[in-house]
Amino acid sequence: MTKLTLDKSSSQISAAAPLSVAELQRRATTLWPALRQGVQVRERERILPYELIRRIGDERLLTWRIPQQSGGSGASVRDVIEFVIDVASVDSNIAQALRPSFLFLEGLLASDDEAARQRWLPHYLQGELFGNAGWEVGAANGAISARLEREGNHYRANGSKYYSTGALYSDWVSAVALNAEGEEIRFMLPRDREGLELIDDFDAMGQRLTASGTTNLNNVLVYEEDIVPQNLYAAGKNQRSIVTPYAQLFLGAVEAGIARNALHDAVAFAQHHARPIKHSSASRSVDDPYVELSVGEISARAFAAEAVVLRAADSIDAAWASGLDEASITQAAIDVAQAQYIAAEAALKAAELLFDVGGASTTARTHNLDRHWRNARTVANHNPRHWKAAVVGAYRLKGTQPPHSGLF
């Protein structure tokens, strides 16, 4: 069966054959060599992977969750999270840059707004990517100063955004501003809209290539059709959306991928670069019992991170299967919080232990092995993991429900 899609610029209808989960998995597998090639140099020299991310879109690897009746594969959340872990195990920057695309799609699926799905799903099927420009700096976390003002039958947006994850790679950029009544209004703009200025100035110590810099809204024209329904991001006041634990699990998947990547580099360094210390009983580093111990510890942590993240993905799938009732979504939120805590801790420790497989040469900039810890630390700082543990503890002890903050 062939489904119909819409061309972004002309609204012409074009055909695209649905892809199975198996075909998407095959396409993903063929990408890994290209993603791994030059990854250390890209990160060290700040070479943004435009072509690689574009190829992911062109291969329709953002469409996993689109239902079969809408032209997709109908993949599970677990399928998506396995893909994210795989990407992050090669380049966590690319995985993180894809997060807004996956989250917007999940919001479309969780919403009852059929018109929004009809509007946006075809763009996914055409391989288009979505970036985010929602957060600002200089005020309380989550505070918005950008403004959206009515001008006849359309609007004008003004303001400045930071943490614009993936925006530089995207065809569409999501933003949020306050209208005259002080209400949050979300809108999706084409990348080439006049007045939309994207700047590559993200200066974090890790995840440097996520294109998460500044987005300026310079009197940008916003049409009514650009407005995105609020319920794509939240179920409503004092209600929990399945999209929020999914968004948090995505970060856990990136951490699990980083842990696996640290394991990959630990093994490679021990096999090809490391030399045993002078008083070692081994003639080769791979025979040194302490190198074996270090690699074994890294492997265990990478294994644990992936296991808990995938179990939490199953919990989200179970919530979907139950019809997204409040109890199942709460359980998913708790499971994700636990998984995120363990995954972040595992990735940080795995990245640290990596330096125990060799001597001073492991710190050489040529190898760029410190990127794993820097990347893991940067992802972990999105939402402090101690809050995750405390919320879970309160739930176990007193039945206290997780906050409706968007972080659970």
Establish if 9 belongs to a structural domain: no
Same domain, 381 and 282: yes
CATH number at residue 353: 1.20.140.10
Segment 142-159, tens digit of pLDDT:
679 999 999 999 999 999
Domain tally for the chain? Answer: 3
CA atoms of 377 and 367, how far apart (whole Å): 19
Residue 173 forms beta bridges with which residues? 131, 189
CA 159 to chain centre: 25
Q: Which of the four pLDDT bands, split at 50, 70 and 90, describes residue 5?
A: very low
CB 343 within 8 A of CB 309: yes
CA atoms of 384 and 114, how far apart (whole Å): 35
pLDDT reading at 95 higher than 50: yes
Same domain, 32 and 155: no
Same domain, 26 and 110: yes
CA atoms of 394 and 350, how far apart (whole Å): 29
Question: So what's the pLDDT on residue 9?
Answer: 38
CA atoms of 392 and 312, how far apart (whole Å): 14
Q: Which residue did the predictor score with more confidence, 225 or 288?
A: 225
- Closest alpha carbon to 301 in 257, 269, 265: 257
CA atoms of 299 and 312, how far apart (whole Å): 20
**Amino acid sitting at position 43:** E
pLDDT reading at 2 higher than 90: no
Same domain, 113 and 161: no
CATH number at residue 196: 2.40.110.10
- Closest alpha carbon to 339 in 377, 313, 373, 318: 313
Same domain, 34 and 123: yes
Residue 8 DSSP class: T
Same domain, 250 and 325: yes
Q: Which of 177, 200, 229 is the last residue of a domain?
A: 229
Question: So what's the pLDDT on residue 407?
Answer: 87
- Closest alpha carbon to 306 in 64, 28, 85, 80: 85
CA atoms of 364 and 368, how far apart (whole Å): 7
Question: So what's the pLDDT on residue 286?
Answer: 84
Same domain, 247 and 191: no
Segment 98-120, tens digit of pLDDT:
999 999 999 999 998 999 999 99
Same domain, 201 and 157: yes
Count Cβ atoms within 10 A of the Cβ of residue 105 and give its class: 0-12 exposed, 13-18 middle, 19 or more buried: buried
Question: So what's the pLDDT on residue 278?
Answer: 67
pLDDT reading at 287 higher than 50: yes
∠ CA 331-335-339 to the nearest 5 degrees? 170
Establish if 138 belongs to a structural domain: no
- For residue 25, the enclosing domain spans 17-129
Question: So what's the pLDDT on residue 13?
Answer: 32
CB 188 within 8 A of CB 68: no
Percentage of the chain exceeding pLDDT 70: 92
Establish if 135 belongs to a structural domain: no
Same domain, 342 and 247: yes
Structure tokens at 5: 């899609």
Which segment of 113-117, 219-223, 298-302 scores lowest on mean pLDDT? Answer: 113-117
Count Cβ atoms within 10 A of the Cβ of residue 113 and give its class: 0-12 exposed, 13-18 middle, 19 or more buried: middle
Mean pLDDT of 175-190: 95
Same domain, 316 and 293: yes
Q: Which residue did the predictor score with more confidence, 290 or 372?
A: 372
In this prediction the pTM is 0.93
Q: Which residue did the predictor score with more confidence, 240 or 326?
A: 326
DSSP letters of 325-352? -HHHHHHHHHHHHHHHHHHHHHHHHHHH
